[in-house]
Amino acid sequence: MNYLTPRLSLCPALSILSVLVFGLLPARGDFLWFKSQEKAKVTAPSQLVGGQAPAVINKAAYDKLTSGNISIVVSLSRQRLLVKAGDETAIDSPVSSGKKARPTPNGTFPILQKDPDHHSNVYGNFVDSRGRVVRGGISALIDSAPSGSHFEGAPMTWFMRLTWEGVGMHVGILPGYAASHGCIRLPSQVAHDLYARVNVGTVVRVEN
C-alpha cells in the first residue's frame, strides 16, 4: 500500500491550496451580488425614447397647415401624436402621456391657452436662495419646503393647455411609456413646431 502514500500526502496540500485560491473567489451568487452593486449608468434624456419610432416632420405638409385643415390626434395606447393637414401627415411623433396614477383624460379638447415659457404650479423642486436644488421632483400640494428653500415649478416649454385642471402638451422627457402626471410630453422640436401652428381653439382629440 506504500504506492498510495504520495497521493494521500498531497491531499492536505491541495486542500490548503484550494482554500487559498478558490476561497478568495466569490461564489456565483456572491459574484452576481457584486455585479448588482456596480454604479448605475446615467442615460441621457435623448436616449430614453426606447422602442418608440422617432418623430418625423413632413415639411411640405407642415407648411400647408392652417386653422381650417389641421387635425391633431393623440393615441394613448400607441403613445403617439399625429398631426395632419387635410389628408397629409405633417407630424408623426412619440409622446409620453399620464401614468396610471394620473392618466391623461380621453376626449376632444380645444386649446385653452398658449404659453411659450410655462412653469408648473404643482410639480417641481425646492431650491435655495442660490438656485441650488434642495429637494427635487416634489409636489407643492403634499410636500413642505425645507427651511431656507422655496418652490420652483418644473419648466413646461411651449405649453398648450387642454384643461383648466393643468393638462396640456409641452416639451418633456420621453422614456418610452406613459410617465407624466397627466400632460402630454413632446420632443422639443415637435412641441416648438406644433405650437407655431395651433391657435387658441384648435381641437386636440385624445383617444385610446
Q: Is the confidence at residue 173, as pLDDT, over 50?
A: yes
Choose the weakest-confidence range: 111-125, 140-154, 182-196. 140-154
Q: Closest Cα to residue 49, out of 175, 195, 183, 188?
A: 175
| Lowest mean per-residue pLDDT among 105-109, 125-129, 150-154 | 150-154
What is the amino acid identity at position 56? V
pLDDT of residue 176: 92
What pLDDT score was predicted for residue 22?
Answer: 42
* Residue 9 pLDDT grade (very low, low, confident, very high; cuts 50, 70, 90): very low
Residue 54, pLDDT above cutoff 50 = yes
Question: CA dihedral defined by 75, 82, 166, 128, rounded to 10 degrees?
Answer: 110
What's the pLDDT tens digit per position in 132-144? 876 766 565 677 7
Classify each residue of 60-97 as buried b or exposed e, where b means 16 or more C-beta atoms within 10 Å of its C-beta: ebbeebeeeebbbebebeebbbbbbbeeeebbbbbbbb
Closest CA to 155 of 45, 40, 43, 42: 45
**Which residue did the predictor score with more confidence, 28 or 52?**
52
Going by C-alpha positions, the residue among 60, 54, 191 that lies closest to residue 118 is: 191
pLDDT at 70 over 80: yes
User: DSSP label at 16?
Assistant: H
Report whether 104 contacts 184 (CB < 8 A).
yes
Residue 173: CB atoms within 10 Å:
13
Residue 162 and residue 182 in contact, taking contact as beta carbons nearer than 8 Å: no
Residue 131: Cβ-neighbour burial (10 angstroms; 0-12, 13-18, 19+): exposed
Is the pTM of the predicted complex or chain greater than 0.75? Answer: no
Residue 153 CB neighbours (<10 A): 14
